[in-house]
Structure 1
Amino acid sequence: MPNFLGEFDCKLDAKGRMMIPVGLKKQLPEAVAEGLVINRGFEKHLVIYTRKEWDTTVAELNELNQYEKKTREFIRYFMRGASELTLDAAGRVLLPKSLLEYAGIDVNGDVVLSCQLNKIEVWAKSAYDAELDDEPENFARLAEEVKGGAKVRRIDE
């Protein structure tokens, strides 16, 4: 499973194409051969997966009980708009118009690619800045709530 690193400012062209930054492209060697998948995020942003990571995610969805209504609804909304991306010869990807509209991203607009472990979030720059401007007052408390119960590896182990 890849773990991506970095935050990249990009700009879409008039056709909705985005150049993959060199620093990120180096982390995506399989993208040229296997392609990428883009999908809606849980907030108003998009998420890019490697093909391998997407296949793993879909396999996990296939394990859910599809006889339950909430499961079917989740799968339906999660899969809505999922599209393959391929890099062109110039290293660009064409972002689907419907997904751009969902995320409030304008063609010719500024976007931020934010690496989040095994996926890459795509945000309208203004929305990303607003999201991070709303940083919790006490980030240490949030960390304790999220990770406090997790097993912590001690340095002397």
Structure 2
Amino acid sequence: MSHFLGEFECKLDAKGRMMIPTGLKRQLPEAEAEGLVINRGFEKHLVIYTRKEWNLIIDDLAKLNQYEKRTREFIRYFTRGATELSLDASGRILLPKALLEYAGIGNDVVLACQLNKIEVWDQKAYDEQMDSEPENFANLAEEVMGGLGRRSDG
């Protein structure tokens, strides 16, 4: 499983194409051969997965009981708009117009690496999201990570 690192500011051209930053492209060696998949995020943003990671997610979805209505609804909403991406000769990807509209993404974009995926945010929306960091981040860390029993370096 790939884990990505970094936060990258990018620009979209008039056609919705985006150059993959060099620092991120180095982390995606299989992208040119296997491609990428972009999908809606749980908040108003988009998510890019490697094809390998997307296939693992789809395998998990296929194990769910599709006789249950809520399961079918979740699968429909989760996969809605999922699109294969490929790098062109210049190292750009074309982001689907419908997904850009869904996420309210303009020309200024932030690619935020989140473990096994890359979130795609409108710059202003991302800044607003990050500006709402909890007042006491340590309490959130304890609530989310406290039960893992890991050694802390923080």
> What TM-score comes out, normalization by structure 1 length?
0.95
Query: What letter is aligned with 1:91?
Result: G
Q: Please name the residue that 1:21 is paired with.
A: 21
Identity %: 75
Q: Please name the residue that 2:58 is paired with.
A: 58
Structure 1 residue 65: Cα displacement:
1.0
- Structure 1 portions without partners, runs of 5+: none
- Structure 2 portions without partners, runs of 5+: none
Query: What letter is aligned with 2:105?
Result: I
Cα shift readout 1:48-75 (whole Å, capped 9, x = no counterpart): 0000000000000111111111111110
Q: Please name the residue that 1:8 is paired with.
A: 8
Runs of 4+ residues over 6 Å off in structure 1: none
> What TM-score comes out, normalization by structure 2 length?
0.97
Cα shift readout 1:69-107 (whole Å, capped 9, x = no counterpart): 11111100000000000000000000000000010012x
How many aligned residue pairs are there? Answer: 153
Query: What letter is aligned with 1:21?
Result: P
Q: Please name the residue that 1:83 is paired with.
A: 83
> Helix, strand or coil for the counterpart of 1:4?
coil
> How far, CA to CA, are the matches of 1:151 and 1:73 in structure 2?
36
CA separation of 1:84/1:9 partners in 2, compared to 1, >3 Å: closer, same or farther?
same
Cα shift readout 1:30-56 (whole Å, capped 9, x = no counterpart): 000000000000000000000000000
